[in-house]
Amino acid sequence: MLDDQKSDADLMRELVAGRQSVLRTLITRWERPLFSFVYRYIQNEHTAREIIQETFVRLYTKKERYNPEYPLSSWIFTIASNLCKNHARWLRRHPEVPLETEGDRDEEGNAKRDTIPSNLPDPSQLADRNEEIRELRKAIAGLPHDLKTAMLLHHFEGLSYKEISEVAGCSVRGVETRLYRARKLIRKRIEKTLSEDRLIQKKKPSPPVRRGLISEVLEDWAKA
Amino acid sequence: MNPDDNLEKLLRKWQPDFKPDPMLAEHVEDQIDVLENRRKSSLLASFREWFRGVTASPVYAGGLALLLVVAGIGLSEIWNGSKERSPDQLTSIYRLSVDPLYRLDASANEARLAAEAALATGLPLDESLVWLQEELELDQPQYDAFLSLHTQYQDSFNELFAELVSLKSGYQKFETDRKSDDVIDFMALYELLQKQKELRKLSEDLTRELLIKSSELMNADQKTRFLELYKGVSPSLEARSYTPINA
């Protein structure tokens, strides 16, 4: 049987038995789901890819700890979510700052020089002009770890409540509660931001229509 | 429309672009190679350094033989079957697994520290959890969640313990240098103490978090017994940081 056709549990058994080449099959199989989860959690592509790499390294170095009676998804997402949590904790303790002074910014406040990679959205994110999606991302980014993990695994990775409970280390009932709380918080944050934005748009006076320079000159000539 | 439906719709719209990383497998394998080489060389180097340090002093050299006997007995006690272990031993093993500060305090001297470090990644945690399952009468779903929760935290605890040990060695080296040079680098000392404080706090917080999450899996009676059991073996942590909620 080809490696591609083998179950995760079989591949893990072979990995434990010393057949390192099956790691590549596992990487091909799990890179996309991991990216889907980690990218949405971290919201920075470079960091997400680093975390995915580390997840596979840990999957290999801790392979003996895997229990084939459980789906690999629970175990692999447990590793990834712990790494995401550690990264978030590290970021809180080591906030990243731009390598620049006040004078290094232009009139609009944009950096003139390169900065240390930060957790801010990358250009592909900035290109995303969908306001609602942007607000959704912000709302998810602001969720506590437990709620965020449950939310992302349920909505985007399609894990069952049982599998999520194994990742999160809580009961199935606990998963339901977390999902309920996460949805509530997201809705609240999105509604608040969008309504505030609309309010600001309403209050902001529309800019005066600027006539063309040629028309102005022609009018001045006519007056003269 | 139901507000949840709106949210579901919005969630479905968020589809980040994914391009497989063609170098991922190679990077992973490179990192694994680096880690394995480093592990092999650092284990050997630490043992050599430790052995040289111990045998350099006549007092330690004399005590080394005794220590090996004691360590041998201690290790065999730990590695023997659970039937031969007392509940106190199993509770201590559990405590060593979930509290890096306790593990550090238990390492009373350098030699014990090395023995503990060697055990850091191999403590028979599963066995003490099985014992706790029986002791607290956890049903299978409760135990599965309990086990998964503890597995999640193990890497962090082991990493924290390794950092605490290295910090302790750093402090000891600082002391040795200070005594021989008669000069104190206050900035280095400050940084060392700050880092130590930060790590101790992090360690306490993590242990506390795990205990709270574990107790949340239990019913009121199990929770009380679990906390009593933990308190019995570790009044210091209880006083130090753990304030049970809903206990």
| CATH number of the domain residue A220 falls in | 1.10.10.10
Identify which of A93, A166, A183 has the shortest CB distance to residue B148.
A166
- Here the ipTM equals 0.71
Q: Look at residue A216 in the predicted model and tell me its pLDDT.
A: 57
Where does the pLDDT of residue A199 fall: very low under 50, low under 70, confident under 90, or very high at 90 and above?
A: low
Q: Which amino acid is at A150?
A: A
pTM score of the predicted model = 0.51
Chain A partners within 8 Å of B20 (Cβ): 28, 31-32
- Of A56, A80, A104, the last residue of a domain is A104
Q: How far apart are CA B10 and CA B7, in angstroms?
A: 5
B23 touches A at CB < 8 Å: no
Give the domain CATH number at A12: 1.10.1740.10
Same domain, A34 and A66: yes
User: Residue B23 — very low, low, confident or very high, per pLDDT cuts 50/70/90?
Assistant: very high
| Cβ pair B28:A186 closer than 8 A | no
pLDDT of residue B28: 94
- CB pairs below 8 Å between A and B: how many? 95
User: What is the Cα–Cα distance from B120 to A24, expressed in whole angstroms?
Assistant: 30
Domain hosting residue A207, numbered range? 114-224
* Domain's final residue, options A75, A104, A133: A104
Q: Above 90 in pLDDT, residue A134?
A: no
Region A35-49: mean pLDDT is: 94
Pair A3, A59 in one domain: yes
CA B71 to chain A, closest CA, distance in angstroms equals 26
Distance from CA of A220 to the nearest CA of B (A): 54
Per CB-CB distance under 8 Å, the chain B contacts of A24 are 25
Q: Does residue A211 carry a pLDDT above 70?
A: no
Q: What percent of chain B has pLDDT over 70?
A: 62
pLDDT at residue B122 is higher than 80:
no
Same domain for A45 and A131: no
Name the minimum distance, in Å, from the CA of A183 to any CA of chain B: 8
**Residues A88 and A126 grouped into a single domain:** no
Which letter does DSSP use for residue A102 in this model?
G
Residues A129 and A223 in one domain: yes
Question: Which range, of A23-27, A53-57, B204-208, averages the lowest pLDDT?
Answer: B204-208
A77 and A20 belong to one structural domain = yes
Domain count, chain A: 2
pLDDT at B115: 47
The Cα A72–Cα A27 span in angstroms is 12
Most confident stretch, A72-86, B99-113, B164-178 = A72-86
For residue B25, CA distances in Å to A4, A5, A57 come to 15, 19, 10
Burial of A101 per CB tally in 10 Å (0-12, 13-18, 19+): exposed
Indicate whether A89 and A128 sit together in one domain. Answer: no
Inform me whether the C-beta atom of residue B22 falls under 8 Å from chain A C-beta atoms: no
Cβ atoms of B153 and B208 closer than 8 Å: no
The domain boundary residue, chosen from A48, A75, A104: A104
Q: Kindly report the average pLDDT of chain B as a whole number.
A: 71
Q: A197 and A223, same structural domain?
A: yes
Residues A188 and A128 in one domain: yes
| A166 contacts on B by Cβ (under 8 Å) | 144-145, 148
More confident residue, A222 or A132: A132
Give the residue-averaged pLDDT of A184-198.
78
Output B127 or B159, whichever has higher pLDDT. B159
**Amino acid type, B78:** I
Does A109 fall in a domain?
A: no
